[in-house]
Structure 1
């Protein structure tokens, strides 16, 4: 029944505006998600930039190739600084993902802070130790790699 959190930070020699334009477009999430997850956006007519209150739905296979619907709400947005997405329907009991951008002397720092709770109480805590935490590490390592390929270090 644990609640877990992990953080990832990346620095780019790009201005905040460039990175914000990419990460605030919900359609770009597919570009940085591992292909094996079968990630498909099912929302129609998404704008090029998210806004507070926006609902985005996806089909995704996070574990064992099992397709699931994932619905997130963008709950907070501060232009070119941060946004927060929270799961409304999906595989987790709790999913709260903060995305921050900060100007640095060498460009822009991007930080992800994910707070999550697996479903199924004690069984979910066990599954987190066995596979979920490792899978999230793998997914965010892939995102890190893809962002480096798109925007350099």
Structure 2
């Protein structure tokens, strides 16, 4: 059962408490997920983020719908939090979100995901496709976070 690691990062010229607060609001998950994944939170909002909090949602990947439930297993504002898949498409998904100050007063956001693919050995055959999809999702996420936090009144914000 090989474990794979995805790392991603983004630096923003904003203070860490402000950046962390954006990620602490589960309602923002849909705003930073590519639209073709048709992401929807199933858990009632707002979700009080703390160890043990569960977030259930539905996504579509390649047109196939699936449910995913994550548990917040570590919560230390404004430094880091960890969410772990409790049910979903992966054999394992542990996502650590770390927030640190930069020398110029900004914030470095670092993501590290440890994941294992399902259905061995067939799952491993799909690894190149999974890696490409995850890289694309995290690239979208970086761009969306940057737009939403640096241009909060821009056209992406829905005021309805």
User: Does the pair score TM above 0.5?
Assistant: yes
CA distance in 1 between partners of 2:144 and 2:89 (Å) = 24
CA distance in 2 between partners of 1:44 and 1:10 (Å) = 29
CA distance in 2 between partners of 1:46 and 1:116 (Å) = 27
CA distance in 2 between partners of 1:92 and 1:127 (Å) = 12
Greater length-normalized contact order (CA 8 Å, ≥ 6 residues apart): 1
After TM superposition, list the pairs within 5 Å mapping 1:31-110 onto structure 2: 31-47=31-47, 49-61=48-60, 63-106=61-104, 107-110=106-109
CA distance in 1 between partners of 2:143 and 2:19 (Å) = 15
Deviation at 1:41, TM superposition (A): 0.2
CA distance in 2 between partners of 1:144 and 1:45 (Å) = 24
CA distance in 1 between partners of 2:44 and 2:144 (Å) = 25
CA distance in 2 between partners of 1:2 and 1:128 (Å) = 11
CA distance in 2 between partners of 1:74 and 1:38 (Å) = 22
CA distance in 2 between partners of 1:77 and 1:45 (Å) = 18
CA distance in 1 between partners of 2:12 and 2:84 (Å) = 26
2:27, 2:45 within 8 Å by CA — same for their partners in 1?
A: no
Equivalent residue for 2:156? Answer: none
The count of aligned residue pairs is 150
Note the residue ranges of structure 1 that are not aligned, 5 or more in a row: none
Deviation at 1:46, TM superposition (A): 2.7
CA distance in 1 between partners of 2:25 and 2:44 (Å) = 14
Could you state the TM-score of these two structures normalised by the residue count of structure 2?
Answer: 0.90
Structure 1 segments, 4+ long, off by >2 Å, are none
Equivalent residue for 1:112? Answer: 111
Note the residue ranges of structure 2 that are not aligned, 5 or more in a row: 151-160
Could you state the TM-score of these two structures normalised by the residue count of structure 1?
Answer: 0.94
